[in-house]
Amino acid sequence: MAKEKMKGKATGEDNLKGTLASVFLLGFFLIFTWVSVYYLFLERL
Amino acid sequence: MNEMVKVDRRDAKLALAHIYVAFIALGLGGLAGLLQTLVRSGKFELPANISYYTILTTHGVLLGLVLTTFFIIGFQFAAVSRTAGTFSDRVRFWGWVGFWLMTVGTAITAFFILIGQASVLYTFYAPLQAHPGFYLGLTLVVVGSWVSGFAIFAHYARWKKEHPKQVSPLLTFMAVANMILWLVCSLGVAATVLIQLLPWSLGLVDRVNVLVSRTLFWYFGHPLVYFWLLPAYMVWYAIVPKIIGGKIFSDSLARLSFILFLFFSIPVGFHHQLMEPGIDPFWKYVQVVLTFMVAIPSLMTAFAMFATFELYGRSKGATGLFGWLRKLPWGDARFFAPFVGMVFFIPAGAGGLVNASHQLDQVVHNTIWITGHFHLTLATTVVLTFFGAAYWLVPHLSGRVMTKAMNRLAIIQTIVWVIGMTFMSGSMHFEGLLGAPRRSAFSTYGNSPQALEWIPYQIAQAVGGTILFIGIILVLIIITNLAFFAPKGETEFPVAEVAEGAERTPLAMENWKLWIGITVALILIAYTIPFIDMIQNAPPGSKGYKLW
């Protein structure tokens, strides 16, 4: 039964587009922070 | 099915005893923290010759070790009793033995710190040498936690025996995973304290191998962070979905993330020692790679949380890309406080990736950026989640209910915390990037222009620290109310169910022999050769220093 639902077409309730967008935003923030401090490291070499 | 499952009264008493000690530690440790930020502003001096470093040690030990360990063990006792059934008299007896060992140990440690014989900070790095009583007290805290861990394991084993071929309740599984993690990692701190520091402080040996002691400390110290964090993840994965009226996105994913934490949170201690000589860069590199692996289960958790919230919001008719956010119960402090904790974990995690990168660590190492970092991870993400959990756990255990007024106060408390921490941790981060050191009292360093630049940030920290202390007073009012004065009644211990669409959890998830085997193998790979190297090529060792 669980599998049937998994295979079914995504309905409004199964829509995880917001989650996809959220994890992308999170990833961009992590990369931005890392690159910012890396830039500081390079500047101070 | 819908009947309220309550933690047995006798088990509730055991859990509550831990939680009381935790909140007493919060009050005292928080006061020490306030004094520190005031001293560092340069506008305040401690009275009666009290040393800044005594206060700093008090703060770190009471909040980093006592508040956390007591709350976590109390919470886990309650969670295991709630989901795997009431404890046997024997398990409960050993739970009390663990509690008293930890409490007596805390009292001994606190005594030697407060009389100024152990201003060695909570990391107690050699060659700073404390009174032997300090190490003895800490040993009792760790041994007590082991006793409690084995009590949980015994209860879990009985459940497995009574429920063959069944997957254990998620919260019990998570508590077991966290206590295995704790047991494996605390062997390192036990080794350095019992083999190195205690004999050295007793005068039985003159010198100590500093690098070995620091390595053993960080073998313990990084997984310690995950020992704090995993109970917060227990709340996020298994309790918050129930509070919002949703379901657990995936039971298997939650368990897998805990197993990955067990694997990757221990063999990573070198990322705290990237600036130290005496460790081959290759082994530092290996442990940096493993550190980045430990980011994966946290990212899995972030995904699962977003998905839980979105599925719930959409089931309530939310539309648009982020419309589901509006459907969440913002007025419920049991949700609001942990949610804010989750949000703060985003900058906290980003900072963690910086700290763990060898080159970037050169920018921030031993600066107050690091202090800012762990005030986001522990003092916001973990602590706000613990506060949010206490808002239902304490009344559940004390047989009372949270009133609307207290809920409102808890929402205000969370907002106060956010404001205070944004000021304090934010300014710590920026000041750290300007090179300001951590672990140091106020100084203008001979009026050096660079040090004078730091002062405005230190004043901002004092403002933030003061606001946070108001937050501590508020949470203590709420907890005292919930424990002793709130109206009598029944409060739910929320435990979420798994979403209908989720796959069944495979039994193999509980193959502990395999998980522990992989954990040990990774530890041996990451540590054996550099550790042999440290001992074979050891310098003569250092005598002890008491700089206070």
List, in order of start, the domains of chain B with CATH numbers.
14-536 (1.20.210.10)
Q: What tokens does B173 get?
A: 């599984």
The nearest CA of chain B is from the CA of A1 a distance in Å of: 8
Complex prediction ipTM: 0.88
- From chain B, the residues in CB contact with A45 under 8 A are none
Cα–Cα dist B331/B333, whole Å: 6
The nearest CA of chain A is from the CA of B394 a distance in Å of: 33
The nearest CA of chain B is from the CA of A45 a distance in Å of: 10
**What is the three-class DSSP state of B437?**
strand
Question: What confidence score (pLDDT) does residue B499 get?
Answer: 80
Question: What confidence score (pLDDT) does residue B92 get?
Answer: 97
Q: Which residue has the tokens 């227990």?
A: B234
- Phi-psi region at B85: left, alpha or beta (left = phi > 0; alpha = psi -120 to 50): left
Q: How many CB pairs under 8 A join A and B?
A: 80
Cα–Cα dist B28/B35, whole Å: 11
- From chain B, the residues in CB contact with A9 under 8 A are none
For B325, name the nearest residue in chain A, comparing CA atoms only. A18
Contact (CB, 8 A) for B145 and B96? no
Q: Is A22 in the B-facing interface, judged by CB distances under 8 Å?
A: yes
Q: What tokens does B371 get?
A: 């202090």
> What is the DSSP annotation of B54-99?
HHHHHHIIIIIIIIHHHHHHHHHHHHHHHHH-PPPHHHHHHHHHHH
CB atoms within 10 A of CB B517: 11
Q: For the purposes of burial, counting CB atoms within 10 Å of the CB of B397, is it exposed (0-12), middle (13-18) or buried (19 or more)? A: buried
Q: Which residue has the tokens 């907002």?
A: B415
> Domain spans of chain A?
15-45
Q: Which residue has the tokens 């913002």?
A: B330
User: Which residues of B carry out catalysis?
Assistant: 222, 226, 373-375, 438-439
- From chain B, the residues in CB contact with A12 under 8 A are 314, 319
- The pLDDT averaged over each successive group of 10 residues in chain A (45 residues) is 46 80 95 95 91
Question: What confidence score (pLDDT) does residue A1 get?
Answer: 39
Question: What confidence score (pLDDT) does residue B360 get?
Answer: 94
Taking only the tens place, the pLDDT of each residue in B347-380 is 999 999 999 999 999 999 999 999 999 999 999 9
Preceding omega of B281 cis (within 30 degrees of 0): no
- The answer to whether B311 contacts A13, with C-beta atoms less than 8 Å apart, is yes
The nearest CA of chain A is from the CA of B487 a distance in Å of: 39
Question: What confidence score (pLDDT) does residue A3 get?
Answer: 43
Q: Is A2 in the B-facing interface, judged by CB distances under 8 Å?
A: yes
CB atoms within 10 A of CB B417: 26
**What is the three-class DSSP state of A44?**
coil
CB atoms within 10 A of CB B325: 16
Q: For chain B, state the CA radius of gyration.
A: 23
Contact (CB, 8 A) for B438 and B355? no
- From chain B, the residues in CB contact with A30 under 8 A are 349-350, 353
Cross-chain CB nearest to B303 (options A19, A29, A44): A19
Contact (CB, 8 A) for B207 and B536? no
For B356, name the nearest residue in chain A, comparing CA atoms only. A34
Q: For chain B, which ranges sit under pLDDT 50?
A: 1
